[in-house]
Structures are given as C-alpha cells and as structure tokens.
Structure 1
C-alpha cells in the first residue's frame, strides 16, 4: 500500500506521510481497517479458469505512466 500511495503522490506532486493506526482512522474513517490489511492477491485462479494471460503492465508501472494532470483538472 505504501508503494501505491508513494507512486500516486509522486504523480500528483503531493507529499505522502505514514500514519499511526489512530491517525489512519481519523483520515480514512471506515476504510482504515482495510488499508491496514495485508491482502496479497494472485491472478492464478483467473488465469486457469479463463485461460487468460495478462498482457498489460503491472499496477505500479501503470500508475507511474498515468496522466495525473487529468485528475487535477477534473476536480
């Protein structure tokens, strides 16, 4: 989660800070417990069941390539 936040923060040009658990609850509200979970994921079942092979970039590569200027002008 830290690497994702750092990548998005860099793209938006905003600082990213680590939060203690009680600070996270104040910042993220009901989402805080989910942000703290170690939710490793795999596409193995999807690949097997659907005979699928991913062709795109991994998440961090995709986030680094994103045009964040569009997000800034949308708000």
Structure 2
C-alpha cells in the first residue's frame, strides 16, 4: 500500500485494525484523534449510568489509584 508513495504515511486509528496491521501495511505514524478522550468520556457516562440505574459504585474498582496517576503524569 505505501510502496507507491515517497513519504511517510499517517493513518487515523480504527478499532478494526491493530498496530501490527498498520505497520505491516507500511504505516509510519498512527494518530488516535479524539479516540482517547471519547474512551474516557465513555467511562464517565458508564459510571454515571451505573450510579443512576443501580445505585452502585463498582466502576471505581477499575479506576487507577492516585499513586499510579501521579507516577504516569510525572514521567
């Protein structure tokens, strides 16, 4: 796919493709666009719906601890 162009190929990530798929196709840069922020907002929506519909807070079980967040932000 990328053999016909003499420049870097940038693609927008898609859920049906993996990093390996894109690398095999010759892609040199993968953009995620708004994917990460939409994923975070999806988690926020799911948590709100859980509280509203079931009155539970189980979503917090998968949340990273503050130490993990601080560690990742300080690197």
Structure showing greater Rg = 2
Q: Give the structure with the higher percent strand.
A: 2
Would you say same fold, with TM above 0.5? no
**Greater length-normalized contact order (CA 8 Å, ≥ 6 residues apart):** 1
Q: Give the structure with the higher percent helix.
A: 1
TM-score of the two chains, using structure 1 as the length reference:
0.30
TM-score of the two chains, using structure 2 as the length reference:
0.30
